[in-house]
C-alpha cells in the first residue's frame, strides 16, 4: 500500500517556550495547571519572563503539529504525513521548518508578515499550563488551502486530523476538508482540545461534529462539552457515549469517541458500548512534564489507525506514545520508537 501523505493535519503551528515555574508565577499571570488558554494583554510580558529563565527550552509545537510529528515518528515511513498552518518569516518560523523536516513531516506553511505564534508552557510539579499567543498562526486563510499544491495534499490523504484549536482560526478551512472527507468516504478526526473551545466556540464545534469519525478529548473537556450542551452529567463514560451517538453527516461509519483521563483508564465509546483501557502506572519520579501527552496519545493512535488496525491496538499505541512523552521535556521523543 502507498502510505505517502496518507495522514494530513492542519492547525496552529506554535513554538513552545517551555520552562519550570513556581506557584507565584502562575498566580501572577492568573494561570491554572492543566489548562490551555489564549493569551490576552496581561500575558504579553510572560513570554519574555519565560525566555529569561535559565531552564527555558524552545520546541516546535502546536497541538495538531505535535500529533502529526508523533504519528510520523511512530510510523517510521518517510513522507507518510503532511501538515499545513501559518508561521511568520522569522527565526522562530525557520526553527519550526527545521524541526518539521527533521521529524520527516511534509509541511506546507503559509508564511505571514506577523511573527510566528508562540505558546508559553509553564511547568510546575510535572503538570503544565499553556498560554498560546497565536500571532501568525491566526492568519491562516482558506485561500492557502485552495492553492493547487496544497489541495493536492488533501486529495492524497485518506485520514485527516485537525484539533479543535483551529476552529478559532479558520473554521471554513476545516469544513472544506471535513466535507471532502465525507464525500470521498475518508476518515476525519478532531479533538475537543480545551474547555474554552467547548464553551466559546460551541456553534462552530457543533457544525463540525456531524463530519467527525473519531473525536478525541480529555475528561475536563468532555465535562465542559456536556455542560455546554445541557446534558447534566459529569460521568465521562456517559458523555463519551452521547457524543458518539450525535447525528452524522455520512452514514458509512459510526463515530468513535476516545477520552483520556490522565493516569485513569482511556474511555472508548462506539456502537452504543463503552470500553475502558487501563494504563500501566508510571512511577512519580519518572514524570517530567505532561505537556504534549494528549497530543502524543492522538499521534500514537493515528499511527495505527492509518495502517488499519483495530481500536484496541490504536489505544495501546496512543498510551505508549504518551508514556514516552511525559518522561521527557515537551513533546519530544527518542530517535526511534521501542514499540511492538
pLDDT of residue 283: 73
All residues at 6 or more sequence positions from 16 whose CB lies less than 8 Å from its CB, including other chains: 57, 58, 59, 60, 61, 118, 119, 121, 291, 330, 331
% of the chain surpassing 70 pLDDT:
97
Half-sphere exposure of 113 (CA within 13 A, CB side): 0
Let me know: does 159 contact 299? Beta carbons within 8 Å. no
Predicted pLDDT of residue 291: 67
Average pLDDT over residues 199-226: 97
| Domain residue spans of the chain | 7-13+61-114+135-325
Phi, psi of 113 (to 5 degrees): -75, -25
CA distance 137 to 232: 35
Percent of the chain that is helix, strand, coil (3-state, to 5): 45, 25, 35
By annotation, the residues acting in catalysis are 295
Read off the C-alpha cell for 310: 483495530
* Class of 7-13+61-114+135-325 in CATH: alpha beta
Tens-place pLDDT, residues 16-44: 898 999 999 999 999 999 888 999 999 98
Question: For 235-241, what is the mean pLDDT?
Answer: 98
Which tops the pLDDT comparison, 291 or 248?
Answer: 248
Check: CB of residue 33 under 8 Å from CB of residue 26. yes
Contact 191, 63 (CB under 8 A): yes
Segment 142-157 shows an average pLDDT of: 98
What is the separation, in whole angstroms, between the first and last Cα of the chain?
20
pLDDT of residue 58: 85
- 5 contacts 149 by C-beta, under 8 angstroms: no
For residue 206, report the phi and psi dihedrals to the nearest 5 degrees: -65, -35
pLDDT, tens digit, 9 for 90 and up, residues 75-122: 999 899 999 999 999 988 998 898 888 899 999 999 999 999 999 999
Give the pLDDT confidence of 279-333 residue by residue, as tens digits. Answer: 887 777 777 666 678 999 999 999 999 999 999 999 999 999 998 988 876 677 8
Query: Model pTM?
Result: 0.92
Asked whether 139 and 170 are in contact (CB, 8 A), the reply is: no
Residue 125 confidence (pLDDT):
87
Place of cell 475528561: 219
Amino acid at each position: 500500500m502507498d502510505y505517502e501523505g496518507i495522514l494530513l493535519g492542519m492547525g496552529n503551528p506554535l513554538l513552545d517556550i517551555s520552562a519550570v515555574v513556581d506557584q507565584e508565577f502562575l498566580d501572577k499571570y492568573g494561570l491554572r495547571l492543566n489548562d490551555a488558554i489564549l493569551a490576552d494583554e496581561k500575558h504579553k510580558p510572560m513570554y519574555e519572563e519565560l525566555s529569561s529563565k535559565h531552564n527555558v527550552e524552545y520546541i516546535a509545537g502546536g497541538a495538531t503539529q505535535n500529533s502529526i510529528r508523533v504519528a510520523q515518528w511512530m510510523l517510521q515511513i518517510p513522507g507518510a504525513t503532511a501538515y499545513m498552518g501559518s508561521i511568520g518569516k522569522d527565526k522562530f518560523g525557520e526553527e519550526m521548518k527545521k524541526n518539521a523536516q527533521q521529524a520527516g513531516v511534509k509541511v506546507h506553511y503559509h508564511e505571514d508578515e506577523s511573527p510566528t505564534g508562540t505558546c508559553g508552557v509553564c511547568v510546575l510539579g510535572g503538570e503544565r499550563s499553556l498560554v498560546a499567543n497565536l500571532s501568525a498562526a491566526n492568519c491562516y486563510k482558506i485561500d492557502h488551502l485552495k492553492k493547487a499544491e496544497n489541495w493536492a495534499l488533501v486529495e492524497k490523504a485518506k485520514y485527516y486530523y485537525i484539533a479543535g484549536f483551529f476552529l478559532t482560526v479558520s473554521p471554513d478551512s476545516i469544513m472544506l476538508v471535513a466535507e471532502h472527507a465525507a464525500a470521498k468516504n475518508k476518515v476525519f478526526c478532531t479533538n475537543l482540545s480545551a474547555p474554552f473551545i467547548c464553551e466559546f466556540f460551541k456553534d462552530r464545534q457543533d457544525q463540525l461534529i456531524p463530519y467527525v469519525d473519531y473525536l478525541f478529548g480529555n475528561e475536563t473537556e468532555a465535562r465542559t462539552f456536556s455542560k455546554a450542551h445541557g446534558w447534566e452529567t459529569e460521568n465521562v463514560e456517559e458523555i463519551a457515549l452521547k457524543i458518539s451517538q450525535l447525528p452524522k453527516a455520512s452514514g458509512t461509519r459510526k463515530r468513535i469517541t476516545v477520552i483520556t483521563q490522565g493516569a485513569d483508564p482511556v474511555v472508548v465509546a462506539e456502537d452504543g458500548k463503552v470500553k475502558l483501557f487501563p494504563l500501566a502506572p508510571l512511577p512519580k519520579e519518572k514524570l517530567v512534564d505532561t505537556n504534549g501527552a494528549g497530543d502524543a496519545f492522538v499521534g500514537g493512535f493515528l499511527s495505527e489507525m492509518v495502517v488499519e488496525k483495530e481500536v484496541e491496538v490504536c489505544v495501546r499505541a496512543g498510551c505508549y506514545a504518551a508514556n514516552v512523552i511525559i518522561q521527557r521535556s515537551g513533546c519530544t521523543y527518542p530517535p526511534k520508537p521501542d514499540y511492538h
